[in-house]
């Protein structure tokens, strides 16, 4: 099936999602100088990386265990039961530094930057003037006058420099030679203590700590993209010292059954962690993707997108939707989905109706024993318990050519070891929906 599906209502978008069902269409990746190799790229190759994608205009490892040896589900087992090392240098570090760094950051993020203490991090979003999400980085405050945006897959450096054309704020904005790796899994704290001492075990979620590896400076954060216990190690002058950090982690990890794996999208889906460019983009409002808590009512200072976001929230409060589709969680039938989806698979409201929505991030959950997914569905079909039908490829469908049954459920599918703010608010009985 190769037809496109422009009939799905995307009237609230200027550039609709490409819903052409082309399948995997395998092709060899060309390695050339147009795309950057990270400081850890050759080390990932030595660790067995056999495939990659492009993220932030950098080559990004996306698989170490080959399908015939169990593939991504073997990597998943290593993450949830032991400890794993990820090459995530694609999280480029954009530094904002200067006397007005706090004021500038407060102007470009929706959350209140003045409430972020030094040596703490926060998950934040940046929006355009229409309220669309431009990036959802982890923001590190490493000094009173210095912030790092550890960015997702969009070019935030150019945006930030554009915002400050003419020097409206007294800051310098630039990418710096700092590259992170992630240490994720239940044994991550034991590995990190072996590397950095007992104090790392006291690091709170989103806490930061300065340390070194063989005399080379690092910043450590208790953060990650997995929902498991985990850390990120940000190496200064990474282009010069990548081998020192990488090999130190491998050595410390031997007794903890460390595995080098790709970023675990199967686990982040279960944790309800969004992936920019896949689950959201610059035409998506925070209210569509369970990020309402990122738009605080009490922030008095102006910021980019504030007017549009407050207007959208006001419409939602009187039952009017400024968008056609809502991101929801789904459980669905079919054979276990054990790899990345090459298409945005289509969703119908009945087994024989035209498609009305699409899946963004699917995978099989061993804990739940079913396929799970994030998906955009018409707002009228977004309530918990709504029954839908998903058109899976033949290798996953129960009956080839027929959709599988699905149901809208609450996200996250599994509790996170380090809960995000949305989970914390829900635990306190607070409404974070609008």
pLDDT tens-digit map of 53-68: 999 999 999 999 999 9
Q: Lowest mean pLDDT: which of 90-104, 241-255, 410-424? A: 410-424
What mean pLDDT is reported for the chain? Answer: 95
Class of domain 273-427: alpha beta
Give the pLDDT confidence of 267-294 residue by residue, as tens digits.
999 999 999 999 999 999 999 999 999 9
Residue ranges at the known binding site? 232
- What pLDDT is attached to residue 127? 98
Q: What is the pLDDT of residue 429?
A: 47
Tally Cβ neighbours within 10 Å of residue 338.
17
Annotated binding site for substrate: 232
Which range, of 20-29, 135-144, 281-290, averages the lowest pLDDT? Answer: 20-29
Name 361's bridge partners: 374
CA-based angle 351:406:410, to the nearest 5?
145
- How much of the chain exceeds pLDDT 70, in percent? 96
Q: Mean pLDDT, to the nearest integer, of 107-136?
A: 98
What are the pLDDT digits (tens) for 405-428? Answer: 999 999 999 877 766 555 565 555
Are 339 and 72 in contact, with CB atoms under 8 Å apart? yes
Report the first-to-last Cα separation within the chain, whole angstroms: 39
- pLDDT at 328 > cutoff 60: yes
Domains of the chain, residue spans: 273-427
Residue 334 has pLDDT above 50, yes or no: yes
Contacts of 388 (CB under 8 A, 6+ apart): 330, 347, 348, 349, 357, 377, 381, 405, 406, 407, 408
pLDDT of residue 2: 66
Tokens (6 digits) for 428: 């306190």
Per-residue model confidence (pLDDT) at position 163 = 98
Cis peptide before 29 (omega within 30 of 0): no
- Provide the pLDDT confidence category of residue 250 given band limits of 50, 70 and 90: very high
The pLDDT tens digits of the residues spanning 196-241 come to 999 999 999 999 999 999 999 999 999 999 999 999 999 999 999 9
**CA-to-CA separations, 222 to 291, 370, 419, in angstroms, rounded:** 21, 30, 12
> Residue 98: pLDDT above 90?
yes
- pLDDT value of residue 415: 79
Task: Write down the pLDDT at residue 3.
Answer: 75
Residue 417: the pLDDT is 75
Query: Does residue 362 carry a pLDDT above 80?
Result: yes
11 pLDDT band, cuts 50/70/90, is very high
Please tell me the predicted confidence (pLDDT) of residue 431: 45
166-190 residue pLDDT tens: 999 999 999 999 999 999 999 999 9
Q: Please, which pLDDT band fits residue 4 given cuts at 50, 70 and 90?
A: confident
């Amino acid at each position: 099936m190769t037809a496109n599906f422009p009939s799905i209502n995307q009237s609230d978008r200027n550039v609709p999602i490409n819903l052409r069902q082309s399948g995997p269409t395998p092709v060899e990746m060309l390695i050339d100088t147009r795309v950057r190799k990270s400081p850890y790229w050759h080390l990932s190759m030595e660790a067995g990386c056999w495939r990659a994608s492009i993220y932030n205009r950098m080559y990004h490892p996306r698989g170490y265990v080959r399908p015939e040896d169990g593939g991504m589900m073997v990597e998943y087992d290593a993450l949830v039961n032991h400890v794993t090392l990820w090459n995530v240098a694609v999280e480029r570090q954009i530094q904002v530094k200067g006397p007005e760094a706090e004021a500038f950051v407060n102007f470009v993020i929706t959350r209140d930057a003045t409430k972020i203490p030094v040596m703490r991090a926060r998950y934040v979003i940046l929006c355009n003037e229409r309220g669309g999400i431009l990036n959802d980085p982890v923001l590190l405050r490493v000094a009173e006058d210095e912030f790092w945006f550890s960015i997702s897959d969009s070019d935030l450096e150019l945006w930030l420099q554009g915002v400050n054309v003419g020097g409206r704020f007294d800051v310098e904005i630039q990418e710096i030679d700092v590259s992170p790796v992630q240490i994720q899994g239940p044994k991550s704290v034991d590995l990190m203590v072996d590397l950095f001492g007992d104090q790392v075990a006291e690091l709170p979620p989103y806490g930061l700590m300065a340390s070194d590896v063989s005399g080379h400076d690092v910043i450590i954060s208790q953060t990650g993209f997995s929902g498991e216990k985990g850390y990120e190690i940000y190496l200064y002058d990474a282009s010069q010292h990548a081998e020192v950090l990488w090999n130190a982690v491998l050595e410390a990890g031997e007794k903890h059954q460390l595995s080098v794996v790709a970023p675990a999208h199967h686990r982040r889906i279960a944790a309800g962690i969004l992936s920019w460019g896949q689950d959201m983009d610059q035409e998506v409002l925070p209210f569509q993707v369970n990020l309402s808590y990122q738009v605080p009512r009490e922030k008095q200072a102006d910021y980019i997108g504030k007017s549009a976001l407050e207007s959208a929230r006001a419409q939602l409060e009187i039952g009017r939707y400024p968008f056609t589709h809502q991101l929801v969680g789904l459980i669905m039938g079919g054979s276990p989905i054990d790899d990345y989806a090459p298409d945005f698979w289509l969703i119908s409201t009945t087994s024989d109706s035209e498609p009305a929505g699409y899946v963004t991030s699917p995978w099989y959950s061993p804990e739940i024993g079913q396929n799970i997914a994030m998906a955009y569905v018409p707002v009228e079909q977004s309530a918990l318990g709504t029954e839908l039908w998903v058109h899976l490829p033949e290798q996953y469908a129960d009956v080839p050519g027929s959709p599988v049954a699905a149901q809208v459920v609450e996200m996250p599918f599994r509790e996170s070891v380090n809960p995000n703010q949305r989970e914390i608010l829900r635990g306190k009985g607070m409404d974070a929906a609008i």
